[in-house]
Amino acid sequence: MQRETIRLLGGRRAAGCTAILVFTSMTLSAASTASPRDASTESTQASDPSPAAPSDGAASAVLLDRVTVTATGERREADEVPLAVSVITRGEIERSGEESVADLLRRLPGTISLRSGDEGGAGSLFLRGTESDHVLALFDGVRLNSPYFGGYDWSLMPTAGVEQIEVARGPFSALWGADAIGGVVNVIPQRAEPGTRLRLVGEAGDDDWLRLEGLLGWGDDQWDLLASYFDREGSGTLPNSDFSNRQVLVDGGYRWGDGNRAAALYQDLDSVLGIPFSSPLNLTPNRRQSSQQRLVSTPLSFQFGRSWAFELTPSLVERTLVFRDPDDPGGFTASDTFADTAQVRLASHHDLGRGGRHELSWGGEWRRDEVDAGSSFGIDLSGQRSSVSGLFAQDVWQVSQRLTVIVGARWDEADEWGSELSPRLALGLRLSDAVELRGSYGEAFRQPSIGELYFPFSGNPELDAERSRSFEVGLLSSFGGQRLEVAAFSTETTGLIDFDFASFSFANLERAEVRGVEASWAAPVSGRLLSTLQATWLDSEDQDGLELLRRPEWSGGWILGGRLGRRWRADLAVLYVGERRDVDAVTFGRTELGGHVTSDLTIGFELLPGLELDLRALNALDRDYQEVDGYPAPGRRLVAGVRWSR
């Protein structure tokens, strides 16, 4: 169902891609009828005063104790990395009660997460004002972005079985390769700890809401095995707007020696939803979409003494998207897309003899994408492949107690679009024990998708990669148990791929520039409550001086959460998304959407040790708003549940 998905996920390309695919369908009708989990992290948001936290009174201490993997590819204290990184911990996930990763990402600075209507609708993520397909999505370091038309549908990813979510903002192609212009989101699954753990969650609420989760983990000194199940379903306010999501997640491994592990990871995601209309004027009571994502990886990690660590991660991701509408007036009654990615990544980390203060990393990747796509009009692509090879190197050097330097580069090559060199330089200068000045420069790229290269009638095999240059300067201050972080950034992207109506094909036509400032302030309200304020200002424009679609000038939020006494916990999220330009759902021209404020409240009560009762109020003030034009967001939804663990 490419017409719906591209319009909902896209920003700049949304209107053009929709027009292309609709027109192409009409023409055809006339002619014939994409391991880090060794890190234990804390959040940049003020992290983890939750039931899962080891201490109720540690609200301020956890602000200063964070570890990140995504920023450098290896485990490091976040304060040692002069880059913009946020981490959402398992404790925060529990405290919020959120079942969707996309809904948690809304809470971070520089991040806009939009959904087409109700739960299950296509989800887009914009980091620092870049395109939604300029964000690289990873699951335990494995690429999730679709090779067909790029990007990732964030409505698919649940929080069940997730240990933490790392968001690295800014250009990261120097480490992770293609599509990391705006940043990287790495969702890291849980791993079983020694002993046996069992957890069950059940929820029910308005609009036929039902959520079930189960987790079983077992481990000893050598073996570990964890299995997680997730099931969510509900109905929207319109006919044929029901949705369901399911996940099976299994992770197991064997450890030996000091730092050696062989593991296997399996994730099976399924989503089914009804699509109530093709536009506000055209109802579609029988239009359905289903998607599936299967991921298998076998990560291997070896530790040779204290100074050399080696990682090898083969992986396979299989994606299926099925669309059916027997009543489509244009004859577009069915489409099926199969997009697979096979990848091998290796990384070698070397401590150059200063106790972790100077570490050199190098490695490489090989990836092969393959797409099969067809519809009721015929075959679009049959076994179309694209292969990419890459090499990277990085040096993280704490030159002195006050100066940290990160320098790295990566080279990627493919037959279709040539080669790209992506350098990065970051500096951190401590002005005092409490204040650090940061600056960075990086180049990144997005590779042309298989659909843009080879889709019938509109594909262009001569496309080049989209390229970006980014600058950033920032300040990090930790004082009195509080954390203040401010960053100003600028990104210019050239060679943006859009549809050229003159040649009726995709072409490297456009340029975009984004400037902005993001800030966050986290402070303990008491020993058990944490308050986090975050705000982002964006100034974005394309080559014609027009604002980029779906990027508000102002956005922000306030998060207050923690424990209230020995048995009560609470989480309040008040989020603001300002006015922004969008694609009109009827005319496909530019329109303006008004800003909106949402408030989500979660309250939990510990009835017995290990047994909790939850009450959640989503959109608690019952605001009427749209995140994507033509797709009303759900009103107030009350949900009650129970959690049990041992």
Window from 32-41, 160-169, 289-298, 313-322 with minimum mean pLDDT: 32-41
Per-residue pLDDT of 574-585, as tens digits, reads 999 999 999 988
Q: Give domain status of residue 610, yes or no.
A: yes
**Average pLDDT score, the chain:** 89
Compute the distance between CA of residue 465 and CA of residue 585 in angstroms, rounded to an integer. Answer: 29
Report pTM.
0.91
Q: Is the pLDDT of residue 38 over 60?
A: no
Closest C-alpha to 269, from 243, 298, 291: 291
Structure tokens belonging to residue 150:
């790029």
Q: Are 177 and 105 in contact (CB under 8 A)?
A: no
CA angle 105, 106, 108 (to 5 degrees): 70
Compute the distance between CA of residue 466 and CA of residue 447 in angstroms, rounded to an integer. Answer: 6
Q: Give domain status of residue 258, yes or no.
A: no
Closest C-alpha to 322, from 283, 360, 359, 376: 376
Q: Give domain status of residue 337, yes or no.
A: no
Per-residue pLDDT of 466-476, as tens digits, reads 999 999 999 99
Q: Is the pLDDT of residue 19 over 80?
A: no
Kindly state the average pLDDT of the residues 13-34.
38
Q: How confident is the model at residue 320 (pLDDT cuts 50, 70, 90)?
A: very high
Q: Is the pLDDT of residue 214 over 70?
A: yes
Q: Are 409 and 419 in contact (CB under 8 A)?
A: no
- Cα 155 to chain centroid, rounded: 10
Q: Give domain status of residue 339, yes or no.
A: no
Q: Residue 487's domain spans which residues?
A: 2-211+225-239+266-289+311-327+344-354+362-379+396-645
Kindly state the average pLDDT of the residues 314-340.
96
Structure tokens belonging to residue 352:
């150059």
Rg of the chain, C-alpha, whole Å: 23
Q: How confident is the model at residue 43 (pLDDT cuts 50, 70, 90)?
A: very low
Per-residue pLDDT of 344-402, as tens digits, reads 999 999 999 767 789 999 999 999 999 999 999 999 999 999 999 999 999 999 999 99
Q: At residue 137, what is the residue type? A: A
Q: Is the pLDDT of residue 618 over 80?
A: yes
Instruction: Name the range with the highest mean pLDDT among 26-40, 74-88, 501-515.
Output: 501-515
Kindly state the average pLDDT of the residues 208-219.
97
What is the DSSP code (8-state) at residue 636?
-
Query: pLDDT at position 59, please?
Result: 56
% of residues, the chain, pLDDT over 90: 79
- Give the count of beta carbons closer than 10 Å to the beta carbon of residue 466: 28
Q: Give domain status of residue 186, yes or no.
A: yes
- Give the count of beta carbons closer than 10 Å to the beta carbon of residue 481: 17
Q: Is the pLDDT of residue 207 over 50?
A: yes
Query: pLDDT at position 7, please?
Result: 38
Compute the distance between CA of residue 71 and CA of residue 44 in angstroms, rounded to an integer. Answer: 13
Q: Give domain status of residue 391, yes or no.
A: no
Q: Give domain status of residue 332, yes or no.
A: no
- Give the count of beta carbons closer than 10 Å to the beta carbon of residue 222: 11
Per-residue pLDDT of 480-502, as tens digits, reads 889 999 999 999 999 999 999 98
Q: Give domain status of residue 112, yes or no.
A: yes
CATH assignment of the domain containing 102: 2.40.170.20
Window from 9-18, 316-325, 500-509 with minimum mean pLDDT: 9-18
Q: How confident is the model at residue 17 (pLDDT cuts 50, 70, 90)?
A: very low
Q: How confident is the model at residue 60 (pLDDT cuts 50, 70, 90)?
A: low
Query: pLDDT at position 63, please?
Result: 58
- Give the count of beta carbons closer than 10 Å to the beta carbon of residue 400: 10
What kind and span of H or E run contains 423?
strand 418-430
Q: Is the pLDDT of residue 44 over 70?
A: no
Structure tokens belonging to residue 637:
């939804």
Q: Is the pLDDT of residue 49 over 50?
A: no
Number of domains in the chain: 1
Query: pLDDT at position 528, please?
Result: 87
Q: Is the pLDDT of residue 309 over 50?
A: yes
3-state SS, 320-354, equals EEEEECCCCCCCCCEEEEEEEEEEEEEEEEEECCC
Query: pLDDT at position 64, please?
Result: 53
Q: Is the pLDDT of residue 101 over 70?
A: yes
Kindly state the average pLDDT of the residues 494-517.
95
CA angle 157, 518, 590 (to 5 degrees): 70
Question: 249 pairs with which residues across the strands?
Answer: 228, 267
Structure tokens belonging to residue 370:
């393959």
Q: How confident is the model at residue 3 (pLDDT cuts 50, 70, 90)?
A: very low
Q: Are 408 and 391 in contact (CB under 8 A)?
A: no
Q: Helix 14-32 vs helix 2-9: angle between axes, to the nearest 10 degrees?
A: 170
